[in-house]
Amino acid sequence: MDVLILSAGTRNKVVQYFKKAIKDKGKVIATDMSELAPAVYEADKFYKVPRMTDDGYIEVIFDICKKENITGVLSLIDPELSLLAKHKDDFARLGVTVIGSSYELCERALDKMEMYEWLLDKGYNCAKSYVDKEKFYADVDAGKITYPVFVKPVRGSASIAISKVYDKETVELLFEHNDNLMIQEFLNGQEIGADVYIDMISGDVVSIFTKKKIVMRAGETDKAVSFKDQKLFDLIEKFAKESGWSGQIDIDIFEVDGKYYISEVNPRFGGGYPHAYECGCDHMTLILNNLDGKANDKNIGQYDDGVYMMKYNEIAIKKG
């Protein structure tokens, strides 16, 4: 049983955890477009590959799958998730399982307005969002929303190009110089991260880990503390099943005045996942069980609360 991790980048812990889970039953292969991606050196073997937007990229991945007899493939970056999902049947013909959600859901996760509209339609609490700035101004005048707000790309990831805006003049300036922007309500509350695994065989939510975020850096959780709330577990389970997610997902949630608001979903391992793993939520083993044809038992909230995660920098050295 060999697992292929695409765009490994700096996710060293994810590669390490897969190696620990797979033991002597197979290999962990990693890829990246750069030889200076430190996580690839944690794998049993790695391949330097073209940029994922280059012509012929997916054929390169197919060739690696055939050469290494890969059982399951996953990516650690958002734009590549849709690409894998789009070629799910092609991978299946090679005997490879795409570890992730459908193309439709990966696209919904990338498109923040589409996600907002879905959440609104299904009755979930979520931040008010606009692509029409005139409608936003009308709601400001009507007292339905107030500054500050966030202005961000409709399709984006890693908190890139997000601005916190305090006035109409800045909104106008940003919209004048950028395309495909949206305005999103600022939720003044506790930010929460949820690492969730939806069994790829049964479709059941089998593991949920939640943490209160303390410090963020470059769009990722830098410091956090684990906690449990059955009300939140129930909300996450309902949301995940109603949406149809599969495999590993990472959910951003806000708690405002005792209410939970769903913000965004990353249908992959998030940067804060090591917190969940070190608290006992081993989603790598859950994935390997599914690849081996075994459904996992439900095991939600089986971890200690009050456990802190603190990230710190490490280095890797490579000789030229």
Predicted pLDDT at 156: 72
- Going by C-beta distance under 8 Å and a sequence separation of 6 or more, which residues neighbour residue 108? 114, 115, 118
Q: Work out the average pLDDT over 98-122.
A: 97
Whether the model clears a pTM of 0.85, i.e. scores above it, the answer is: yes
CATH topology assigned to domain 128-185? Dna Ligase; domain 1 (3.30.1490)
pLDDT digits 0-9 by tens, 114-134: 999 999 999 999 999 999 999
Contact yes or no for 226/125 (Cβ under 8 A): no
Indicate the pLDDT class of residue 221, thresholds 50, 70 and 90: confident
Please give the DSSP secondary-structure letter assigned to residue 201.
T
**DSSP letter (8 states) at residue 25:** S
The CATH architecture to which 2-99 belongs is: 3-Layer(aba) Sandwich (3.40)
Task: Identify the pLDDT of residue 255.
Answer: 98
Contact 185, 129 (CB under 8 A): yes
Taking phi over 0 as left and psi of -120 to 50 as alpha, with beta for the rest, 159 belongs to left
Tens-digit pLDDT profile for residues 294-315 = 999 999 999 999 999 999 988 8
Peptide bond into 274 cis (omega under 30): no
Angle at 290 between CA 4 and CA 206, to 5 degrees: 115
Among 125, 299, 284, residue whose Cα is nearest residue 209: 299
CATH 3.40.50.20 domain extents, the chain = 2-99
- How confident is the model at residue 218, as a pLDDT? 67
For residue 233, pLDDT beyond 80: yes
Looking at the chain, which residues constitute the CATH 3.30.470.20 domain(s)? 189-310
Query: 304 and 226 in contact (C-beta within 8 Å)?
Result: yes
Half-sphere exposure of 243 toward its Cβ, with a 13 Å CA cutoff? Answer: 35
Looking only at the bridges linking them, the beta strands covering 259-266 and 163-165 are: unpaired
Each residue's pLDDT tens digit, 256-284: 999 999 999 999 999 999 999 999 999 99
220-227 and 205-217 strand pairing = antiparallel
Structure tokens at 277: 């793993």
Contacts of 189 (CB under 8 A, 6+ apart): 254, 255, 256, 257, 261
Which of 12-21, 36-45, 92-101, 161-170 shows the lowest per-residue confidence on average (mean pLDDT)?
A: 161-170
Q: Cite the residue boundaries of each domain of the chain with CATH code 3.30.1490.20.
A: 128-185
User: What H or E segment, with its residue span, contains residue 6?
Assistant: strand 2-6
Task: Please tell me the distance from the alpha carbon of residue 83 to that of residue 97, in angstroms, as a whole number.
Answer: 14
SS3 19: helix
The Cα–Cα gap between 176 and 16 comes to: 45
| Banded pLDDT at 158 (limits 50, 70, 90) | low
Ranges of beta strands (E only) in 179-238 are 181-185, 190-198, 205-217, 220-227
* CATH architecture, range 189-310: 2-Layer Sandwich (3.30)
Please answer whether residues 99 and 73 qualify as being in contact, where contact means their C-beta atoms are separated by less than 8 angstroms.
Answer: yes
